[in-house]
Structure 1
Amino acid sequence: MTQKIDYQFDQDHIWHPYTSLTEPLPVYGVVAAKGCYLQLEDGSELVDGMSSWWSTLHGYNHPVLNDSMKAQIDKMAHVMFGGITHNPAIELSKRLVKLTPEGLDKIFISDSGSVAVEVSMKMALQYWHSQGKAEKSKFLALEKGYHGDTFAAMSVCDPITGMHTLFANNLQKQIFVERPSVKINQTWQANAMTALENTLKNHHHEAAALILEPVVQGTGGMYFYHPEYLVQARALCDKYDVLLIADEIATGFGRTGKLFACEWAGISPDILCLGKTLTGGMMSLAATLTTEKIATGICNGEAGVFMHGPTFMGNPLACATAVASIDLLLASDWQKKVAQLEKWLTKCLLPLKTNPKIADVRCLGAIGVVETHEPVNVAQIQKVFVEQGVWIRPFGKLVYIMPPYIAGLAEVEKLAHAIEYYFEQS
């Protein structure tokens, strides 16, 4: 028998993401999950429209991933990575070298997306220090961008509309560029790179790297921009001798319709960050990949080594699960599944644009976004969604869904109907 959930203890003692402890948002007790569905304590089921924040691309409780974890845990769940190696880390790294954009063949395996970003920024700083250019110590970042909640990552998130303005006085001051002006479905404009080129021209002497989310800005607004921006950003970074960091923690492994969003532009960054769905949503794992040039530069510098080493770096259980997840993805017709999801999402969500409360509807790959004119009441809207049998977690003006790749038309229709119902009733 499932143990009853102690909601009162949870409310009194446990913090949830971006939630007050004194005036907490309601929480819903999940006791099991399978496929596209979350089972609540009362036995009811919700279609999961969030893939647990981009991560569970194969759905929940997948037998292949479960079996991979069971097999690995009987060998070893964890062992330190200092002075030790193991096949799960090696096999994962082989796959990442093969699948990611060309030239990214040096891999640092960490334990979360924010850490992957921190690692990427330290790589850039340490590289320039080793080149005798320690003055290149700042980062260029796009307005409306989001890269995580740890301190270096916060410093390259949007400084005005982002979630971290409270810590502005404690963060390194970085250099921000207006976000790409041309959307993915618009005609490219010749002047679209003026802001970035002027910023690079004025700050390249102090800039270590440009960090961006390729094609899709996630938490900063679910904004889809033109791939040509990436093509030209890559060229400008080369021209002004600034590294390019691609944060694909949210977009990696097919979510946008390409295996990696950089493929929309056919570019290779100097450093690539991966996370979230790396293990298919089974547990936390991340990776930061870089080039021979960057790795050699770091290791030929003053320290002689890269100065980072998390305790759970290269965790064997997580690495084995990631190998299974990647193999499962590649063995499936994931391109067809994501393309089908995009068609369904577009068909089901686009009619909502006629509602006067809706500012925009946009879809890309397995991402569907409904943007409102005014911020939504999260507690109110989630209550309605749960009553309608779906799990969607909006923020601000964004009601977005990104179902697991295994979702069918019935699940997509139910998610869309719940959104439509809320805005018709509210």
Structure 2
Amino acid sequence: MDPDRPAAATGSGTPPAPSAAAAVAALAALAVSTFCYVTSESLPIGLLAPIAADLEVSLPQVGLLVSGYGLTVAVVSVPLTQATRRVPRRLLLSGVLALFAAATLVSALAASYPVLLAARLVSALTHGVFWSVVAVTAAGLFAPRLRGRVVSVVFAGSSLAGVLGVPAGTWLGQQAGWRAAFVALSVLVVAMLAVFASTMPSGPAGVGHAARGRAPDVRRYVLLLVATALMITGVFTAYTYTTDFLTSVPGFPASAISALLLVNGVAGVVGVAVAGAATERSPRWALLAAAGTMAAAQLGLYALGESRPAAVALLALSSFSIGLLAAALQVRVLDVAPGSADLASAGTSSAFNLGIGLGALLGGLLLPALGVRSTALVGGLLVAAALAVLLTEPLLAPARPTGPAGTGSARRG
């Protein structure tokens, strides 16, 4: 038996383990699909002016294509995942990716703003389902001991979206029109759909080692949700206004912003790469390290942001922490999920997207009242509060006794 893959299942109705090549191909398709989703979510940001001019709408209306998308994901993730929990993963994700490709193509062909907005909301519906099951599906393709590395590969796609996807889509939209960027994205999704559908094994949903938490615990999961909402709110309170911060506080010229954002993107990819090994050793400590580093980076930006070298280093550290956080959070969810891992992932996805929306709103309120520098301070304090919540876990949710096989007992809290 290949030690890098789960043993072939013996239970009735449980799918056999895929071949090593098929598992790797399916994982790659899922990772590229996360790249497509994150690129799609943020793509209108880089194409605000062309879309607004073509459809004769205001810039805030185009901005709604992003904020409305995120809010939709936050609202629908849990109910849609609950409604589709019995659908086999290959069928579910193939259908979701097909609908995503179609909605993206409709976005490219939209002759009016209402049609474009409707297509974006359909994409968001598929996003809510995809993001809830992608890590669980990917982890189930490989042996449990590789869970950290597998999840980090999946989330490498989302990190690369910020480094390559959105800039490339923005460039293509500027050169060939904004519609071309959505067409190209749709073609890439169809290609990944073909790879995934031909390599993912068939079988019922809710089976395999990744379908349930390794040490289910309701209290630990609730703490994780609270910490996630606080952390992401803090991150996006500052991150949403990074460009304004860089030009106002350390005084970088506008021409330097693209290079600085590229550095931040690379740092995020490095964070995801480090997450693979770190989460295999201890998902909880990897999550604590991400939160602590992020809080230090945000508060450091408030205190030292006027120094250009310090600003660059601290922004890169913050991006590194975000990359580490994404994988560590998901692996931790797979550990403590109190029931279905898919539903637990849907809950954290909702908390994540809620934090994005609240952070952008809070930063927007702080900006005119206290200036852009205050976004780093408030953001850092919120992340520090999330770290405090995570540190209370041993007190509020004591460690579960370990059984002979090294798994948690069935004790409930």
TM-score normalised by L of structure 2 = 0.27
Higher relative contact order (CA 8 A, sep 6+): 2
| Structure with the larger strand share | 1
Q: Tell me the TM-score normalized by structure 1.
A: 0.26
